[in-house]
Structure 1
Amino acid sequence: MKIAVIGGTGLIGTKTIAILRAAGHDALAAAPSTGVDTVTGAGLDEALTGAQVVIDLANSPSFEASAVLAFFSAHEANLLAAEARAGVRHHVVLSIVGTDRSPDNGYFRAKLAQEALIKASAVPYTIIRSTQFMEFLPSIAEDGQKDGQVRIATGLFQPIAADDVAAIVAEVALSAPGNGTVDIAGPDRAPFNEIVGRYLTAVDDARPVVADPDARYFGSRVEHDTLVPQGEARLGPTNLTEWLARKRGMTAAASA
């Protein structure tokens, strides 16, 4: 089966394509670097020719509120129109847990607008809302850095490993469209500051983590359950201890 992976050269895209190809599917990596631009439409019809499933993993090059909204609006409108022309039977998109609970976050608002376009389309769909990836813990720590401390919000956090995200995305893509939303998360739920503290300890980073209820998460306020599933969710198998052990192993190998 041909599956077009929009954003197929990114973190989740490359992992998803590897899983699909190993299972014998024709998985196409569609991205500007491979000649497919969903914002302009360039190369889009060619990429979707013969595709039965589209996995939508595209991301905005800018996180500024108006720019990210313009990106996802143009991207999704062009992509859905091309899917209708190509007769695509399942649109799978990766979104964010809590995207409907953070009105002060421009990126989340843009993802919510993207979801609305998908729901209004005639193309059958499944929306996968994921918690943050464990792989983003380093950038989260850096974003919280101030005066030698790492200030992190105290709301709940439940990160998921990128490998687990890719595995679930691939599985959903090979299933019938649900015309609904699935939440996915990692197995460990704890205060945000505690998880970041565990990460810094694991990589021998001595900076203290300060629990700050007013600390921002990439500019957005984090309430108690903003970033975690509030109802039923599918949990990835990789826990934080396992992921941190792998991280330590990779760091040791790189420095050897």
Structure 2
Amino acid sequence: MKVVVIGGTGLIGSKVVARLGEHGHEAVAAAPNTGVNTLTGEGLADVLQGAQVVVDVSNSPSFEDDAVMEFFRTSTTNLLKAEADAGVTHHVALSVVGTDRLQGSGYFRAKQAQEDLIKTSGNPYSIVHATQFFEFAKGLADGMTDGDTVRLPAAKIQPMVSDDVAAAVGRTSVGAPVGGVVEVAGPETFELEEFIRMGLAAKNDPRKVLTDPQATYWGAALQEDTLLPGPDAHIAETKFADWLAQQK
């Protein structure tokens, strides 16, 4: 099976390409640095020739509200049209658990726009909703740092390692289109403050971490369960402490 992975040179995309290749599929990494640009349409028609599946794990280079909306709207529109023209029979997109509950954030409004375009396109599709990645603990902290203090909303989080995200995306891509959302999450639930504190401690990062009732998550207010998956989520195996131990 030929599977084209948009964003195939990034953190998740490169792992998806490797996993699919190990299972005997023709996995093609497509990204601007391989001559494929979903914003301009450059290279799309050529790379999609003979493809049965397209996996989109690309992300916007800018998280500014207007820029990220333009990225997901334009790239998704171009990609879906090119897939229809090429006869692709399964579109798989990676998105985020809780996207529909995080609409106070420009980034998640853009992700919701991406999902809506996919759902109304008429193309057979599957959307994988993953929880936050272990690897992004520092990035989350950086986005919520005030001076030397990380101020976090009161919420729970069920993070997972990128390898398990890639496995879920790869598994979904070689299955039948579900015409809906598949959720995946890590095996443990943490307070957001606990997750960030553990991640920073592992890097000997001296910042203080505290819960602040006024703090938002990339501009969105959180309820305790906003970032948590539903009861039917596929639960990955890798635990955060085990992963942290491997990083040393």
TM tier, shorter chain? Answer: over 0.9
Residue identity matched to 1:96: V
User: Hey, what's the Cα distance between the residues in 1 that align with 2:92 and 2:105?
Assistant: 23
- Structure 1 gaps of 5+ residues are 250-256
Q: 1:75: which partner in 2?
A: 75
Whether the aligned pair in 2 keeps the contact of 1:155 and 1:213 (CA below 8 Å) is no
For residues 104 and 143 of structure 2, what CA distance do their matches in structure 1 show? Answer: 18
CA contact (8 A) 1:149 1:207 kept: yes
What does residue 161 of structure 1 align with?
161
Query: What CA distance in whole angstroms lies between the structure 2 residues aligned with 1:147 and 1:177?
Result: 46
Q: Is the 8 A contact 2:183 2:230 kept in 1?
A: no
Task: State the 1:6 CA deviation.
Answer: 0.4
Matches within 5 A, 1:1-256: 1-247=1-247, 249=248
Match of 1:252 in 2: none
What is the total number of aligned residue pairs between the two structures?
A: 248
1:214, CA displacement in angstroms?
A: 1.9
Deviation at 1:146, TM superposition (A): 2.2
Match of 1:254 in 2: none
| TM superposition score normalised by structure 2 | 0.96
Structure 2: give runs of 5+ residues left out of the alignment. Answer: none
SS of residue matched to 1:28: strand
Dislocated runs of 4+, deviation >3 Å? none
In structure 2, how many angstroms separate the alpha carbons of the residues matched to 1:144 and 1:122? 39
For each residue in 1:180-224, what CA deviation from the matched residue of structure 2 results, as whole angstroms up to 9, or x when unmatched? 101111111121001111222233333321111222223332221
Quote the Cα distance in structure 2 between the aligned partners of 1:229 and 1:213.
Answer: 22
Q: Return the offset for 1:106.
A: 0.8
Q: Aligned partner of 1:46: which letter? A: D
Measured in 2, the distance between the counterparts of 1:9 and 1:81 equals: 22
The CA RMSD over aligned residues, in Å, is 1.3
Whether the aligned pair in 2 keeps the contact of 1:126 and 1:181 (CA below 8 Å) is: yes
Write the distance in 2 (CA, Å) between the matches of 1:63 and 1:201: 27
TM-score by length of 1: 0.93
Please report how far the alpha carbon of residue 149 of structure 1 lies from its aligned counterpart in structure 2 after TM superposition. Answer: 2.0
Q: Distance in 1 between matches of 2:218 and 2:181?
A: 25
Counterpart amino acid of 2:235?
L
Is the alpha carbon distance of 1:206 and 1:109 closer, same or farther for their aligned partners in structure 2, counting shifts above 3 Å?
same
Indicate the residue corresponding to 1:253 in structure 2: none
More off after superposition, 140-149 vs 126-135: 140-149
